[in-house]
Structure 1
Amino acid sequence: MAAATAEQPPPAEAAKPLQGLLNGIAQATYYGNTEITEELLRDQLYSETAPQEFRVLLAKMTGIVKSIASADMDSNQLEAFLTAQTKKPGGITSDQAAVIAKFWKNHRVKIRESLINQSKWENSLKNISWRVDLQSESRHISQLNSPVAIVEMELGKNGQESEFLTVEFDEIKLNQMLKKLSEIEDSIASLTQAS
């Protein structure tokens, strides 16, 4: 095996700038890091590269990452996609494909979660807890010591402060809610069996 010359770094060293570039693209595009700029990436990773040449590389890698992420590619799809990219004119090298595959393996779950969170318009249910209490005060004596279900829900978006909603159900309201939930469950079951 030939030793690496000073002109050509060993494969692991040559892959580091591309790994950094892909991480920078993920930070800027999917993780909301506004400090990552084209200039920063070029200065830190490809300072010897001409600005126009770097822009072409950045656009190519950004396009590849976006294609992979939007399709949420599994390993077989990724391998086929990267193989096609290595064979097309102006595509990527097999070394670059290996770095991209490693990057996607490490970032797939986090990028997928980021895309899901970015696509939510409304708040979602983050947490729910409940308990049953006995009513100790009431305007009507008949309601004393009757069970009351208290449901606490945490609503919000990731990265934002949550809102808390507390709902109290007496036995009648709780039974009505359970009946409605049962009807919804039956409707969903009938729809899924029909298809």
Structure 2
Amino acid sequence: MANLAGSALAREGRMDPDSSRPRGVTQGAHRLHEASRKQRGRREEEVERGPGKRRGADMTWQAARRAPVESIASADMDFNQLEAFLTAQTKKQGGITSDQAAVISKFWKSHKTKIRESLMNQSRWDSGLRGLSWRIDGKSQSRHSAQIHTPVAIMELEIGKSGQESEFLCLEFDEVKVNQLLKKLSEVEESISTLMQPA
């Protein structure tokens, strides 16, 4: 039955007369063989050149293409800045081509928000303060009887990393420690204000 079907396909020109496979399968196998032979030839050339030369060339090419994207991301460029930057890169010796600039521009416009979020998440390597609550209590126990019933501040800090469960830290401050904390926070505030002043 298979031979009858094969001879019918051969008569219609859809069967390779030299084998029992349909013509498309034979042509596909031939193309695959040719591609494999060409790839083998390229590999042999790479072996003759040495792996270091090829890898070095690939790394140089990747670094040259990655540098503009890293600059765009670190500067968080808007679209006008992006176009000016890419135009300058295309005019630079050894820079990018206009086609590459178009691809980078389209990529940045499509993925700017995701890239920014990713960079922000990567820059937060430690836990952050998610919440703070406090209350004033009277001390009920102490080694010294004079400290019993003195007011203390109970502060609960909610700390956690992005995407993870929070941890809670409970601190107890007497009047002296509250004053020390306020002094340090005042110093932090002054430092931040100084850094935020325009130059």
TM-score, length of structure 1 as denominator length: 0.49
TM-score, length of structure 2 as denominator length: 0.48
Q: Rg: which structure is higher?
A: 2
Structure 1 or 2: larger helix share?
Answer: 2
Structure with the bigger RCO (C-alpha within 8 Å, sep 6+) is: 1
